[in-house]
Amino acid sequence: MPELPEVEVTRLGIAPHLEGRVVEEVIVRNPRLRWPVDPLIQQLVGQTILSVTRRAKYLLVDTEAGVLILHLGMSGSLRVLDPVPEPGKHDHLDLVLDSGAVLRLNDPRRFGAAIWWQLPLDAQPLLNKLGPEPLTAAFNAEQLAAALKGKTSAIKTALMDNHVVVGVGNIYANEALFAAGIHPKRAAGNLSKARLAKLVEEVKAVLARAIQQGGTTLKDFTQADGKPGYFVQQLNVYGRGGQACVQCGAQLKEIKLGQRATVYCGHCQR
């Protein structure tokens, strides 16, 4: 599943081609995505795209008429195409731009979304209860300590809770906890302020490096230009269960936490 770095890399790839452009046509080939595509999405036609931003793992294509909220789901991707090839089986949505290029949503599993929203964003149920963005000053040790106070759940599970902080998915939670030396099963509410400060630092560092490397390609994800993400080459624990720890050489352990693969070093993480 594309996580925050992959979505941010996608935003960085498509925004220069969309911002300032007029939508000339909206082609919906299959409206049966995670939620049915609203026919009112046709109100995008004739609108100038003012900005392409991101909130958590949602991309926001803003116009005066409303906001197109896009989510990549499990296997979705967005590509700006020029010239424009014939659509394939899983090419469900096109935005045809006045430049002649097309923004195309491809989603084999159809768990993605294209939501047309015309009210203030703080009224959008998918967005209005989200925690802070991890790469901003709003995500800090004080905020994290307050969010985790009294929690007995595992820190890895808490770190992936979008009410605590958005966008820290499974891959990057594994990596940040390893870098911070924190055992993934440690009770979230029992960590000291100093350890939380270190965790915040490593979450920010891991996500920033992943964005710089174009995200992580494990199976489905490619960048907006079709290239893979190269952060997979820098993974220290995720996907490496049973292999040697890069720090101490001990065998990495793999367990399930919240039904998600969790890899850690029993020697380096406490």
What is the rounded distance in angstroms from the CA atom of residue 217 to the CA atom of residue 121? 31
Q: Is 21 annotated as a binding residue?
A: no
| 156 classed as catalytic | no
Alpha-carbon dihedral 200, 78, 116, 63, rounded to 10 degrees:
90
Strands 58-62 and 260-264: unpaired
Residue 2 falls in the annotated catalytic set: yes
- Is 90 annotated to bind a ligand? Reply is yes
Given the DSSP bridges, would you call strands 91-97 and 102-106 parallel, antiparallel or unpaired? antiparallel
Question: Which one from 11, 54, 57, 156 is the annotated catalytic residue?
Answer: 57
Q: Is 24 a catalytic residue?
A: no
3, 6, 8, 202: the catalytic one is 3
Burial pattern 56-79, b for ≥16 Cβ within 10 A else e, equals bbbbbbbbebbbbbbbbbebbbbb
Rg of the chain (C-alpha set):
20
Cα(80)–Cα(141) distance, rounded to whole angstroms? 39
The active-site residue out of 34, 185, 240, 260 is 260
240 is in an annotated binding site: no
In 28-103, which residue ranges form alpha helices assigned H by DSSP?
none
Write down the catalytic residue from 2, 5, 134, 184: 2
- Report the C-alpha gap between 267 and 270 in whole angstroms: 7
Residue type, 64: E
DSSP H helices, the chain, are 4-18, 141-148, 155-159, 170-180, 193-212
Which token pair is 70? 């896009």
Annotated active-site residue 260? The verdict is: yes
**Which residues are marked as active site?**
2-3, 57, 260
The binding site consists of: 90, 109, 151
The binding site for DNA consists of: 90, 109, 151
